[in-house]
Amino acid sequence: MKTKIIVCLTLFCLFSLTLTSPTLAKAKNIARGVFINYTKAKSKKPGGSPATDMNATYKYSGIHWTNPNVSYVVDASLSGIMPADAITAVNAGFDTWENEINPFGFADKSIIDYTYNLSAPATSGTPALDGQNTISWGSLGSGTIAATYYWYTRKGKVLVEFDMIFNKNMPWSSSGENSKFDIHNIAAHEAGHTLVLNDLYLSSNRELTMYGYGAMGETKKRDLGYGDMLGVERIYPVR
């Protein structure tokens, strides 16, 4: 994980500001999507094979970044723990994908590159198309652990921005406590959505990072399953 002070170039700033214009958003045909991470399944969806992290399943929407170097800001003031600890855990979740952290000893074969930008202020709690990829804590519905909103162009399926929100009404931890949600674990899952990898719901997929439900004390999503690796390598392969 790279921590950089990022200087906002004039042209980029102007582009970011114009993206907030509803007129331009309409002209550019920008759409919004959202992924919701729930605490438990609403209905049982049994899989046809045993659950294992060697499961090769992934689901990809086709939406992508044109530039695999993606920066983000974090506001952890409402996380309920020391903000510095929460930010470290968030960064670790993105690092899971950047370096393809896995239990198999497989090499990293993707070029996605995430950068935590500590030079820009972060807004908290609500999704907004404002030219900034933001991770924060805010109020979400009951039974919702986190949500990742994303904006993209319908034509070309190009990602424009994402905002990730953790539910501030849930108990959070950076150390895998049994009675709390682990930030690293949930951030890794949500970071997969910034690649626009879809949730998986079959019980046979429950050992994968992109399995769509989370639980207190869960840490297994801190590293990628085989299907998760295949997903990121398909989108951003090493050339």
User: pLDDT tens track of the chain, all 239 residues?
Assistant: 544 433 333 223 333 333 444 444 454 599 999 999 999 765 555 656 789 999 999 999 999 999 999 999 999 999 999 999 999 999 999 999 999 999 999 999 999 999 999 987 777 678 999 999 999 999 999 999 999 999 999 999 999 999 999 999 999 999 999 999 999 999 999 999 999 999 999 999 999 999 999 999 999 999 999 999 999 999 999 98
Helix (H, G, I), strand (E, B) or coil at 50: coil
pTM of the model: 0.87
Amino acid identity for residue 238 in this structure: V
d(C-alpha 40, C-alpha 85), whole Å:
26
d(C-alpha 96, C-alpha 191), whole Å:
9
Distances (CA, A) of 2 to 81, 94, 127, 165, 194: 23, 10, 25, 22, 17
Find out whether 60 and 198 touch, Cβ atoms under 8 Å: yes
2-235 falls under which CATH superfamily?
A: Collagenase (Catalytic Domain) (3.40.390.10)
- Three-point CA angle 86, 216, 113, nearest 5°: 45
Amino acid identity for residue 196 in this structure: V
Sequence ranges of the domains in the chain: 2-235
